[in-house]
Structure 1
Amino acid sequence: MSDSVQSNSAVLVHFTLKLADGSTAESTRNNAKPALFRLGDGSLSPALENHLIGLSVGGKAAFALEAQDAFGSISPDLIQYFSRRDFVDAGEPEIGAIMLFSGMDGNEMPGVIREISGDSITVDFNHPLAGQTIHFDIDVLEIDPHLEMSNADPVG
């Protein structure tokens, strides 16, 4: 076990993500269930990992990341258009609803219904926080904890 977070550490943290308007997008503190991340596995952006490296157990970090360093910029390629008949089995879609779609590889992908216009339904497959500056507030609880991944929610 290391005294500080390294480039390949597993880290158990509590975090709160806030948007530019101050609203909370997500927080592990709400359900008292910390998140477990492994640095270097590609699940976190390099910019986020850089803010964690060097922190010790009990360490705190508060910082903001621009969209490209957090959840990415909005990609127009991830906005797709469907026909209303594509939703016959799923029921009537509602704007803002998150629905699961089967990708070409068979994996399910969440999409947000952005617009309904006549027979056309616009679905956005970008991460819901894409395109936004995110304010992070992170507390390091453990470094390289000896616990199962099922004890914590992986995020990212």
Structure 2
Amino acid sequence: MSVESIQIGDNCEVILHFDLKLSDGSAADSTRVNNKPAKMVMGDGSLTKNFEDCLRGLTAGDRKEFSLAAVDAFGMPNPDNIYYLDRTKFDADADLQEGMIMGFAQPDGSELPGIIRAVSPLSVTVDFNHPLAGQDVVFDVEIIEVRHTEGELKD
């Protein structure tokens, strides 16, 4: 079986370009901007089941456009992901603006992005939901390469 004829399924690594638009047609993201395709592994939990289902059966060279409801794309906003932080937790000269995205250090050393939703003299409201949570989206994908991951048995 040649690489070009492998269909996307379980235990596949997929390299693809995508354009992501909101339901009103406005652009939200694209791998083509920096010509850096995305790499995804089917079944690793990083993609929703419905997103994976839309990719199944495609092969290298295929293009497809599909719509996902918010719950199947980036999920719905979770009120538990909104935090009210004491203003003193930020540098006094920090220019905090509503809508800006900041990285917040986690105990394990990683960074979690948060969106500043409100700034007052005493507190800062930070939203750790995905910026596209609650949005219906349209993906336009172009499959570049499909490979079996090493965990799959081959004939």
| TM-score normalised according to structure 2 size | 0.87
Distance 1:110 1:27 in 2: 19
Structure 1 vs Structure 2 CA RMSD: 1.9
Where do 5+ consecutive residues of structure 1 fail to align? Answer: 147-156
Q: Secondary structure at the match of 2:24?
A: coil
Match of 2:29 among 17, 26, 29: 26
Distance 2:91 2:59 in 1: 52
Structure 2 letter corresponding to 1:103: Q
The aligned residue for residue 16 of structure 1 is: 19
Match of 2:86 among 67, 78, 83: 83
Distance 1:106 1:13 in 2: 30
State the shift of 1:105 in Å: 4.2
Matching of residue 51 in structure 1 with residue 51 in structure 2: no
Mapping 1:1-156, distance limit 5 Å: 1=3, 3-88=6-91, 91-144=94-147
Distance of aligned partners of 1:43 and 1:121 in 2 relative to their CA distance in 1, 3 Å threshold: same
The structure that has the greater radius of gyration is 2
State the shift of 1:31 in Å: 1.5
Distance 1:84 1:12 in 2: 42
Where do 5+ consecutive residues of structure 2 fail to align? Answer: 150-155
Distance 1:6 1:145 in 2: 9
CA contact (8 A) 1:84 1:119 kept: yes
The aligned residue for residue 151 of structure 1 is: none
Count of residues paired in the alignment: 146
Runs of 4+ in structure 1 over 6 Å off: none
Distance 1:102 1:90 in 2: 19
